[in-house]
Structure 1
């Protein structure tokens, strides 16, 4: 790897994570056949460079103007050599700069390798289907019909309907993040739903269902929680500890069975009436719409989950 590429990767890492040189560790993969990984040590976050305001201001446009007028730019922590390397890296269309799937790492990946892996993934006809036309307008009409009926039946207010009403019509966009902790660096597909017809409805449903999370005896908050639970378990000499990795969890989740579980949980939720005036059937209708109309665009083509 030449010096220009090295400095470019180093600088990109520093700009993305806002840390100084003593927090950077480079871990180049083998050649450029796989992603180049850049990790950082745990360093305290940078303090805000905004000065203390001389007066108490409300969160209005005037307060924003005041902040901008009194703010001072921080002293640059990059050299001219690093700035030049960053410019060269930006010009290199053969390299993609991506966040790693896990670990707060920044990855530089060969564009051809990335495109080939995505193509292989989307070629799985059991999981994905290439659509001949954009279904956005059809899905929008369906969602509007559901919201109109719920408001007519006094299940939601006009204000709530207006919030959920799909005003933006962006086609969800898919991108992938590399799993650098696994052999071959497989990709994890992520669909950006922002600005799509179901975005506000998805957010509202997520807030509504959030209190149900964590009430299962099998629930683990995170890896720290798992370690705490495992610390209380005694392993005998003839015991065997197994770890299972679920492949493509989202696309392999059975929708019908999942909706049945959610319905049962909602029916058992005594606090539901305090969070919404929607009945369980109305929630499930909206939720069913969201999970059965998942589609996305990639490189000009539109796909749906098969």
Structure 2
């Protein structure tokens, strides 16, 4: 109430997109009547007897949780998909991380690059400000994390839905936690410009509810094949130089009207080079550099990957006249195909030959496929109206421990 009273006469200026939280605290207003009313209300509230909420866990359950939490020989992590968690031994966890880090996408280095990267990020922000592409509020926001910057760290989510590798006890998804990364703020800044580019692509799918709305009115021929495809490790397999060229070119050619000035190509390229090519992180007190792909855990990686994928789609996939419907949510593709088995196989081959590092796995059916959290199938309406039906796909969680 006090805030509403104080602000009622203030001009309604636009709040900057990138601005540090205000530290102003409206302790009192100039209205004696309002302050008396607030004091009386606070007095009445103070008379209400507080009832301490009861814990919904028993003492034994709490003790068990604390014992697990303090056990240095195990690691507890969420599953990659679903709401369950996995318990694995620390030795298994470290072994799987080293298996992942031995891949061609990563390179072990002998020093921490974080401090130097932070200085380079600071210089880019200053150049954006000097060239008048950001205002003082945005500059302050982009430099606000300077005192809390630390080297990003790698952790893994357990992929219970994937088979175990031959040389590991479980399959993990490597995530680079960049919450205190020197490029975190610049990633947020550039993501503001790239997200609308992704959303305007005709293959873009926001989520399952949007797909349900599309399918509700999508009349299809009766001889279609239902196809889902998955891009294998999309983020970590896109070449960094190709990302730079595609993203810079796409943003430069865009006619989208933004609320703030769009940065010029040379500064966009410098930001991207910093984010992609100086992605230094640590695991188990050792330093690594990602030399291929974008980091899973960076806010910008989905947009970068989407823009690269769209170029491949336009050139190698959507040129097939037998595709009657095509949508993609990140690395998950849904398409309906009107052609024989040999033509569909040719499409699969062409997709896997389109790029040296981006590969696809497929599932096809004449009746039903699983896509995201839906099962899409040819029900009674399909024969009558050519409309597909759907239902929620309830995934069974596997128990992962060891």
Q: What TM-score do you get using the length of structure 1 for normalisation?
A: 0.69
SS at match of 1:243: strand
Q: Deviation per CA, 1:216-265, whole angstroms, max 9, x where unpaired? A: 1111223444465567464756x544433322211111223223332333
Task: Report the equivalent of 2:108.
Answer: 130
Larger Rg belongs to: 2
Q: Distance in 2 between matches of 1:293 and 1:195?
A: 15
Task: Report the equivalent of 1:259.
Answer: 244
- Cα pair 2:248 2:269 within 8 Å, conserved: yes
Structure 1 range deviating more: 219-228 or 176-185:
219-228
Number of aligned positions between the proteins? 246
SS at match of 2:128: helix
Query: Cα RMSD over matched residues?
Result: 3.1
Task: Report the equivalent of 1:121.
Answer: 100
Displacement over 6 Å in runs of 4+:
55-59
Task: Report the equivalent of 1:170.
Answer: 150
Q: Distance in 1 between matches of 2:73 and 2:269?
A: 45
- With over 3 angstroms needed to count, the CA separation of the structure-2 counterparts of 1:102 and 1:140, relative to structure 1, is same
- With over 3 angstroms needed to count, the CA separation of the structure-2 counterparts of 1:75 and 1:152, relative to structure 1, is same
Relative contact order (C-alpha < 8 Å, sep 6+): which is higher?
A: 2
- With over 3 angstroms needed to count, the CA separation of the structure-2 counterparts of 1:279 and 1:91, relative to structure 1, is closer
Q: Distance in 1 between matches of 2:261 and 2:255?
A: 12
Q: 1:287 and 2:267 equivalent? A: no
- Cα pair 1:295 1:305 within 8 Å, conserved: yes
Q: Distance in 1 between matches of 2:284 and 2:98?
A: 10
Give the superposition deviation at 1:149.
2.8
Contiguous gaps of at least 5 residues in structure 2: 5-23, 28-41, 165-169, 292-402
- With over 3 angstroms needed to count, the CA separation of the structure-2 counterparts of 1:259 and 1:230, relative to structure 1, is farther
Q: How does 1:1-306 map to 2 (within 5 A)?
A: 60=25, 73-124=52-103, 126-165=104-143, 167=146, 168-184=148-164, 185-226=170-211, 229=214, 232=218, 234=220, 240-276=225-261, 278-306=263-291
Q: Distance in 2 between matches of 1:235 and 1:101?
A: 36
Q: Deviation per CA, 1:189-223, whole angstroms, max 9, x where unpaired? A: 11111122111111122223222222111112234
Give the superposition deviation at 1:183.
1.6
More strand by share: 2
Give the superposition deviation at 1:273.
4.9
Contiguous gaps of at least 5 residues in structure 1: 1-54
Q: Distance in 2 between matches of 1:212 and 1:121?
A: 32
Q: Distance in 1 between matches of 2:155 and 2:285?
A: 13
SS at match of 1:81: helix
- Cα pair 2:112 2:280 within 8 Å, conserved: no
- With over 3 angstroms needed to count, the CA separation of the structure-2 counterparts of 1:56 and 1:163, relative to structure 1, is closer
